[in-house]
């Protein structure tokens, strides 16, 4: 743990908040030397190799969703955090552009819900991509006065749509979950020892270089025995993984483009946060379409489709300064139904756990900014 971060722990104050502020600090920049980088690390006292189940997913099934054979994946855990699995970019070369294009062009489309819907009529938000591409492709960002809708996108919800105000999901607020993303999720969770995962809700977070996500636990789902799955694309980020108590000091790690995180078992309900977006180091924005051979290598039955040069021009410009995170959740146990009374399935203790925010200086979760009434301006710093 970095020096200042360590002293915060010793003081016995809210160590998580102090460490959040430490890594979010701009001037002077914090010491990042103790942040775990799974893309370069070897097993150690803290970092343990995780054995996945290569038999759970055939090589053909994996390649159809753009993944390497499971036996090639580099998966790690953290001592003291059973159930936490970090898979260092298991994607095949050339597959990330497809998933990023889905996140920017397809998943923000109706019937999915996004932050812009909270203050704009649906006629204006139904073609975010189409309304943004011209500016993004041709105009110099610095010279434009108004941001495009795509640049103002902060979150999209899929499946059971998360209600940011009540912190609940409900049977009545549901649209079909994207099949391609379910296939991807089901294979990763199966390889991690969780067969039969049902992707029921998704939250996409769109981060600019100055965004952050406050300290929180994801506990609105009714079944916590199912893992939570998280994908990163674009710029890198510092992810803080704490303990079951708000005061537990977190471990800092880097998430690069293509990295996948699984929070399961005892790690499913740990506090976590993203204090900082960082430029992807050279070689980590592994999204250059051209480097991996022609799209003809797509398997029969693949969910992947070639990404056109036009689409890629927009996506690659977007991720020069942005990060996209996708979290997939199973909300209900098989056969489980939402209870009749909404209040009975609301988050408990949410006052200190609903830490979704952008631009929050201290990660303090009681001041969540990412609410249904967000305007694009409130999520910018």
Ligand X SMILES: O=C(O)CCC(=O)C(=O)O
Rg, Å, the chain Cα set: 20
The answer to whether residues 324 and 134 touch, using CB atoms and an 8 Å cutoff, is no
**76, 140 Cβ separation under 8 angstroms:** no
Site for Mn ion in 207-226 (CB under 5 A): 218
116 touches ligand X (CB under 6 A): no
Name, in order, each residue with C-beta under 8 angstroms of 14's C-beta and a sequence gap of 6 or more: 246, 247
Q: Which residue is nearest to Mn ion (CB)?
A: 218
CB-wise, 31 or 364, nearer to Mn ion?
364
3-class DSSP state of 377: helix
182: tokens are 């379910």
**CA dist 107 → 20, 127, 233 (Å):** 30, 11, 14
Tell me how far, at minimum, the Cβ of 356 lies from ligand X, in Å. Answer: 7
Instruction: List the alpha helices (DSSP H) in 179-288.
Output: 179-191
Cβ closest to Mn ion, residue 8 vs residue 228: 228
Report d(CA 113, CA 315) in Å as an integer. 20
Contact 135, 144 (CB under 8 A): yes
274 binding ligand X? (CB under 6 A): yes
Kindly state the smallest distance separating residue 54's Cβ from ligand X, in Å.
Answer: 26
Residue 318 contacts which entry, ligand X, Mn ion, none (Cβ below 5-8 A, type-dependent): none
Nearest approach, Cβ of 355 to Mn ion (angstroms)? 9
Q: Which is nearer to ligand X, 311 or 354 (CB)?
A: 354
- Please tell me whether residue 325 binds ligand X under the rule CB under 6 A: yes
Of the pair 255, 298, the CB lying nearest ligand X is at 255
- Among 36, 192, 213, 277, which residue interacts with ligand X (rule: CB under 6 A)? 213
- Which residue, judged by CB position, is nearest to ligand X in the bound state? 325
Nearest to 231 by CA among 87, 354, 355, 106: 87
* Residue numbers at the binding site for Mn ion (CB under 5 A): 218
* Residue numbers at the binding site for ligand X (CB under 6 A): 203, 205, 213, 218, 230, 237, 239, 255, 272, 274, 325, 327
């Amino acid at each position: 743990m970095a020096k200042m971060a360590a002293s915060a722990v010793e003081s016995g104050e809210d160590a998580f908040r102090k460490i959040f502020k430490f890594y979010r600090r701009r001037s002077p920049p914090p010491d990042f030397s103790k942040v775990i980088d799974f893309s370069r690390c070897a097993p150690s006292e803290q970092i343990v190799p995780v054995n996945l189940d290569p038999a759970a997913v055939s090589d053909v099934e994996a390649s159809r969703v753009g993944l390497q054979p499971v036996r090639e994946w580099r998966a790690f855990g953290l001592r003291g955090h059973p159930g936490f699995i970090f898979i260092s970019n298991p994607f095949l070369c050339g597959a990330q552009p497809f998933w990023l294009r889905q996140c920017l062009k397809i998943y923000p489309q109706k019937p999915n819900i996004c932050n812009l819907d909270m203050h704009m009529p649906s006629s204006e938000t139904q073609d975010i991509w189409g309304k943004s591409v011209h500016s993004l492709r041709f105009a110099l960002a610095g010279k434009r006065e108004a941001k495009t809708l795509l640049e103002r996108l902060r979150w999209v919800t899929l499946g059971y749509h998360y209600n940011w105000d009540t912190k609940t999901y409900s049977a009545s607020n549901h649209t079909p979950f994207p099949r391609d993303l379910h296939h991807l999720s089901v294979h990763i969770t199966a390889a991690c020892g969780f067969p039969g995962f049902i992707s029921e809700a998704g939250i996409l977070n769109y981060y600019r270089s100055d965004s952050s996500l406050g300290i929180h636990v994801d506990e609105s789902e009714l079944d916590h025995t199912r893992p939570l799955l998280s994908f990163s694309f674009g710029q890198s980020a510092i992810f803080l993984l704490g303990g079951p108590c708000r005061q537990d000091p977190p471990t800092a790690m880097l998430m690069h483009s293509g990295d996948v995180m699984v929070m399961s078992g005892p790690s499913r309900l740990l506090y976590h946060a993203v204090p900082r977006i960082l430029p992807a180091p050279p070689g980590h924005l592994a999204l250059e379409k051209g480097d991996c051979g022609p799209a003809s290598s797509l398997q029969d039955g693949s969910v992947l489709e070639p990404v056109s040069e036009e689409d890629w021009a927009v996506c690659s410009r977007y991720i020069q300064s942005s990060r996209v995170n996708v979290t997939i959740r199973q909300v209900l146990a098989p056969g489980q139904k939402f209870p009749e009374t909404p209040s009975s399935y609301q988050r408990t203790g949410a006052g200190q756990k609903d830490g979704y925010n952008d631009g929050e200086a201290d990660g303090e979760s009681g001041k969540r900014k990412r609410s249904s009434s967000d305007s694009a301006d409130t999520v910018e710093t």
